[in-house]
Structures are given as C-alpha cells and as structure tokens.
Amino acid sequence: MPAALQFSSVSKRYDSGYEAIEGISFTVEPRRFISIVGPSGCGKSTVLNLAAGLLTASAGRVEVFGEPLAGLNRRAAYLFQQDALLPWKSVLDNAALGLELRGRAPDAAQDWLRRVGLEAFSTRYPHELSGGMRKRVALAQCLAVQPDLLLMDEPFSALDIHTRLRMEQELLDWVGTAGTTVLFITHDLEEAIALSDEVLVLSAGPRSHLVGRYEIDLPRPRPLLDLKTEPRFAEIYRAIWHDLRGEVIRALGDHPGGKAHG
C-alpha cells in the first residue's frame, strides 16, 4: 500500500517572497499518527496546507496515496485551528455538511455526534455551544466523511487544559477505532509525544527544514492522565527537547520580545 502522504524535497516560497519551508521530505504511512512540532512561525501550517492542497509547492513533490497532488486533497479532511462551523447551520447540519456536499445521507453524522457525546445538541446552533463542544462537532464533521487522512492544525490550542486532555484522549480512541491516518500540528511537545507514533521537529523559520525525527515507542492504548509521569515519556521528551530547544531559542532571538506569528 502506498504512503498516505509523501513530501519529497518540498519548498514553499510565498508571493511576498517569504520562504517558509525548504527541502522538506517525510512520509506518512497509512494508519499512523504523525505530529510536527516546531517553534512559532516555523511553517508548520504551511506544511499542513500543502498536504491539504490549499497551497501548492514551489519546488518538490507532494504525493497522496502514490498520486501527485493536483488541486485539493480529496482524500483528506482538515480540522482547522479556528472555528470553522457554519453559524447558520444547526449542530447536526454542520456535522453532516461534508456528507450533504457529496450528496450522501446524514446517517454517519448522526452516528459521530453520538460518539462525541453531542446527540442531545443536534438542533442547537454553534453559538450555543462551548469551545470544546464546537471542536467535537468539527471533529464529527471531519470523521463523518471517512477521510483516509486527517489533517489537524493545533486543534486544541484554544481549549482549557482539562477540556484539552479529555479531547486528546477521545481523539486517540476515535482515530484508533476508525484506523484513521493523522498528520497533527502542534507547538506543544508533550501533546505531540502523547498522541503520536512519530514526531517530526521543524526548525525555526524562515526556510524551515526538518531537524529531527523520533519514533515514539510508548505502548497503546495510552492512558494520557498517567502517561506523562512515566519514565519512558520523560526520556523521549528530554531527547526531543534537546533538538527543539535550540530552535525555540533561535525563533525567540529572531523576534526580540518573543512576538509570535504564523
């Protein structure tokens, strides 16, 4: 089976002349959970948007299940960092949006709403839900179309710490049972290690490149509440942080005052 996603020496230079990433190569095998971590402004989102087909590479090749990517990635679903639910549609209509656009029945959406625990809120509107609930609806929307690849851009960064831990645990259960391939972007190394099979470290921008690649050999299923106190977790964390630390310092040095962007 070909890789779900393959980047071969991919670079992206924006029209403004800004070179976000340079010569990035990695492979996402089916049913794997891969995270990309890096300091703020390192071009993590650029990588994800290239994988989604929302951006096109300036150089290099992006392949999806063995085919060169042209236009939008039709086999992927994208969970955005920002709220992307349509405020004028009910919870159920939002969850079923992908199915409706493809002319399919909304049964799978109802099913996913039940799994994310929001069946009772089907007829509500997004503004009546909390941030965590809206994320669940967005996740149900993505998973209802049964994507071969799930792209996630810091999906939980706006949530409070407890909601976040719960969402991470549930995400692991859901993608575990559905066998979904995931490419996950975060600046939080603990989150990346806890969730992933493999963590890729991106250097500070501009011209970000991959500086490290770590196989996470923690056994599954992973109980996240206790995972972070395990010695093996700390060991992995120290090893990756060794690489990441330098990049974070470089990113801060480039932007005195520590102003984050991108």
Partner 1 sequence: MARSIHPRVLAGRIVVAVVFIGLWEGGARLGWLDPFFFSRPSAVMSRVWQQLAEGTVWPHLGITVVEAALSFVLGSVAGIAAGFVLGRSRLLGDIFGPYIQIANSLPRVVLAPIFLLWFGLGIWSKVALGVTVVFFIVFFNTLKGVREVNPVLLDNARMLGATERQLVRHVLLPSALAWIFSSLEISVGMSIIAAVVGEYLGSTQGIGYLIAQAEGVFDTTGVFAGMVFLAAFVLVVAAVVGRVERRLLHWRPRPAETPQA
- What CA–CA distance (Å, rounded) separates 198 from 205? 22
Length of the chain: 262
Indicate whether 141 belongs to the interface with partner 1 (CB under 8 A).
yes
Residue 103: partners with Cβ closer than 8 Å, 6 or more residues away: none
Indicate whether 54 belongs to the interface with partner 1 (CB under 8 A).
yes
Indicate whether 238 belongs to the interface with partner 1 (CB under 8 A).
no
- What CA–CA distance (Å, rounded) separates 154 from 139? 13
Indicate whether 105 belongs to the interface with partner 1 (CB under 8 A).
no
Residue with tokens 């390192």: 42
Least separation in angstroms between CB 54 and partner 1: 6
What φ, ψ does residue 24 adopt, rounded to 5°?
-95, 130
Indicate whether 101 belongs to the interface with partner 1 (CB under 8 A).
yes
Task: Report whether 116 contacts 140 (CB < 8 A).
Answer: yes
Nearer to partner 1, 39 or 98 (CB): 98
Return the residue of 37, 64, 92, 145 that touches partner 1, per CB under 8 A.
Answer: 145
Nearer to partner 1, 45 or 203 (CB): 45
Q: Which stretch binds partner 1 (CB under 8 A): 12-20, 24-32, 87-95, 247-255?
A: 87-95
User: Binders of partner 1: how many residues, by CB under 8 A?
Assistant: 26
Query: How big, in percent rounded to 5, are the helix, strand and coil portions of the chain?
Result: 40, 25, 40
Return the residue of 21, 52, 159, 193 that touches partner 1, per CB under 8 A.
Answer: 52
- What CA–CA distance (Å, rounded) separates 217 from 259? 35
Binding residues (CB under 8 A) for partner 1: these are 52, 54, 72-74, 76-78, 80, 82-84, 86-90, 97-98, 100-102, 125, 127, 141, 145
